[in-house]
């Protein structure tokens, strides 16, 4: 594929994939009736309430209080020092915040350490696909989820997408890390901080005149909103891997789902809304994700920002037209048209013709001794390089916002 190397594709995926992680923290809403049964969830039971009218009863009043009493600078200063899953809550944290964090950091009883070990092998072998799909499928899809696009655009980080994406990219990096949910990992910390950000956005966005004018809801980021954007990540990724005929052992497929089930729980989604299997995930996605996809002025602007940002990772090689062609290849002509992505006479047919042979060659090399480890080391280097680019080599700190996007 010439200069379109594996290295450059993954670097761009790291930059663009951040919005896919970011989308977990922002809203989308389907208008169909909620008929999905909680019997298909990891809880196996539940009240069956439409999650459109359920938010986060633990985090929301707490963070609203932190904002109203002016404690955000103090809490953020302490949060910067809290980075590892097993690390104690920083001394000096307000008592109500500390108590919430101690509760929120606990893994659920159904966490399966065996699956978390198995998912390491999956990530090791399929890191390239995951990076590209998080970026050019999940990330770009989030720009055509109307409520999500508006929330991203009008919240504080919408004015500086590179900074915002650098913070949310951390979730995508942490969930793929070998130590993700282990004591020396960072995924639990990242989820708890992100859950607090969600609560802050729920409190702040309704105060934005711009968001009020564009939105058709009073409170953003409901449980249903979060599940919509959750499906734009693992469900969409697995659907694409199946479509591409990537041979994935059942145990690894289940382990990948489990890592994202835990992510949903740690972000504050109720267990009764988290699908217990891929079949249930696909059923729920058919009801809540597919019907809401549509263009918005905010989403078109965000997509353009993301494509320009991805191209700037290595602009002379990964140009905006190439990234646009990848988006069209991943998401189809309709979504590409919504986002005003031009057709590329060279790259569009090249991707259609060469992608499956590329996968076949890559998969064919996996059985050779040392190949999975080599893939992992190289992909890990590129993921870190993408984070360094997005953060401008500064520490990435997920912090509670205290304002919306400046008008």
pLDDT digits (tens, 9 = 90+) for 115-156: 999 999 999 888 888 888 887 888 899 999 999 999 999 998
396 assigned to some structural domain: no
pLDDT-derived band of residue 4, with 50, 70 and 90 as boundaries?
very low
3-state secondary structure of 41: strand
Lowest mean pLDDT among 46-55, 181-190, 271-280, 303-312: 303-312
Which is nearest to 313 in space by CA: 17, 6, 11?
11
Largest CA distance in the chain: 60
Cα distance between residue 162 and residue 137, in whole Å: 19
40 assigned to some structural domain: no
H or E element at residue 180: none
Model pLDDT for residues 301-324, shown as the tens digit of each residue: 999 988 887 655 544 345 788 889
pLDDT attached to residue 206: 95
Contact 115, 2 (CB under 8 A): no
Lowest mean pLDDT among 41-45, 165-169, 289-293, 339-343: 165-169
Q: What is the mean pLDDT of residues 82-101?
A: 98
Residue 7, pLDDT > 60, answer no
Lowest mean pLDDT among 237-246, 303-312, 335-344: 303-312
Average pLDDT over the chain, rounded to an integer? 85
Q: What is the mean pLDDT of residues 45-50?
A: 94
pLDDT attached to residue 375: 52
Model pLDDT for residues 197-221, shown as the tens digit of each residue: 999 999 999 999 999 999 989 999 9
Model pLDDT for residues 374-393, shown as the tens digit of each residue: 555 545 544 544 444 443 44
Q: Which two tokens stand for residue 273?
A: 């809304």
Lowest mean pLDDT among 151-155, 359-363, 399-403: 359-363
17 assigned to some structural domain: yes
Any idea what DSSP says for residue 176? Answer: H
pLDDT-derived band of residue 282, with 50, 70 and 90 as boundaries?
very high
pLDDT attached to residue 159: 72
pLDDT-derived band of residue 355, with 50, 70 and 90 as boundaries?
confident
404 assigned to some structural domain: no
140 assigned to some structural domain: yes
Residue range(s) defining the domain that contains residue 123: 6-33+47-391
pLDDT attached to residue 366: 65
244 assigned to some structural domain: yes
Q: Which residues of 388-399 are buried (b: 16+ CB within 10 A; e: fewer)?
A: ebbbeeeebbbb
Contact 188, 198 (CB under 8 A): no
pLDDT attached to residue 394: 54
276 assigned to some structural domain: yes
Residue 15, pLDDT > 80, answer no
Is the model more confident about 9 or about 217? 217
Residues of the chain above pLDDT 90, percent: 61
Cα distance between residue 257 and residue 278, in whole Å: 7
381 assigned to some structural domain: yes
Which is nearest to 210 in space by CA: 301, 124, 130, 121?
301
Structure pTM? 0.86
Contact 222, 51 (CB under 8 A): yes
pLDDT attached to residue 311: 56
- For the chain, how many structural domains are there in total? 1
Cα distance between residue 356 and residue 326, in whole Å: 14
pLDDT attached to residue 128: 80
Contact 379, 42 (CB under 8 A): no
Which is nearest to 8 in space by CA: 310, 330, 327?
310
3-state secondary structure of 404: strand
- Please report how the helices 95-104 and 59-68 are oriented relative to each other, as an axis angle in degrees rounded to 10: 150
Any idea what DSSP says for residue 88? Answer: P
């Amino acid at each position: 594929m010439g200069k379109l190397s594996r290295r450059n594709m993954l670097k761009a995926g790291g930059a663009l994939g951040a919005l896919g992680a970011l989308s977990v923290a922002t809203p989308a809403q389907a208008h169909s009736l909620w008929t999905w049964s909680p019997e298909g969830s990891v809880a196996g039971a539940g009240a069956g309430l439409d999650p459109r009218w359920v938010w986060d009863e633990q985090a929301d009043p707490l963070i609203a209080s932190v904002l109203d009493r002016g404690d955000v600078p103090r809490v953020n200063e302490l949060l910067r020092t809290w980075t590892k899953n097993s690390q104690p809550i920083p001394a000096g944290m307000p008592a109500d915040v500390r108590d919430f964090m101690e509760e929120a950091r606990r893994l659920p009883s159904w966490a399966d350490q065996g699956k978390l070990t198995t998912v390491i092998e999956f990530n090791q072998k399929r890191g390239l696909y995951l990076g590209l799909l998080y970026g050019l499928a999940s990330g770009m899809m989030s720009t055509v989820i109307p409520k999500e696009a508006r929330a991203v655009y009008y919240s504080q980080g919408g004015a500086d997408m590179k900074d915002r994406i650098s913070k949310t990219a951390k979730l995508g990096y942490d969930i793929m890390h070998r130590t993700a949910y282990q004591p020396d990992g960072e995924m639990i910390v990242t989820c708890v901080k992100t859950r607090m950000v969600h609560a802050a956005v729920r409190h702040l966005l309704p105060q934005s005149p711009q968001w009020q004018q564009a939105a058709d809801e009073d409170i953003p980021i409901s449980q249903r909103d979060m599940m919509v954007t959750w499906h734009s990540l693992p469900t969409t990724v697995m659907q694409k891997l199946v479509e591409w005929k990537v041979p994935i052992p059942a145990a690894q497929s289940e382990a990948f789902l489990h890592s994202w089930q835990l992510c949903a729980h740690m972000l504050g989604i109720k267990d009764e809304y988290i699908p217990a299997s891929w079949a249930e995930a696909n059923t729920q996605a058919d009801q809540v994700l597919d019907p809401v996809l549509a263009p918005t002025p905010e989403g078109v602007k965000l997509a353009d920002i993301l494509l320009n940002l991805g191209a700037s990772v290595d602009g002379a090689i990964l140009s905006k037209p190439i990234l646009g062609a990848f988006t069209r290849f991943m998401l189809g002509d309709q979504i590409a048209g919504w986002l005003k992505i031009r057709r590329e006479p060279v790259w569009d047919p090249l991707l259609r013709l060469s992608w499956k042979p590329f996968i076949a060659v890559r998969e064919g090399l996996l059985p050779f001794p040392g190949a999975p480890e080599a893939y992992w080391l190289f992909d890990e280097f590129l993921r870190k390089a993408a984070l360094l680019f997005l953060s401008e080599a500064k520490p990435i700190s997920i912090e509670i916002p205290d304002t919306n996007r400046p008008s």
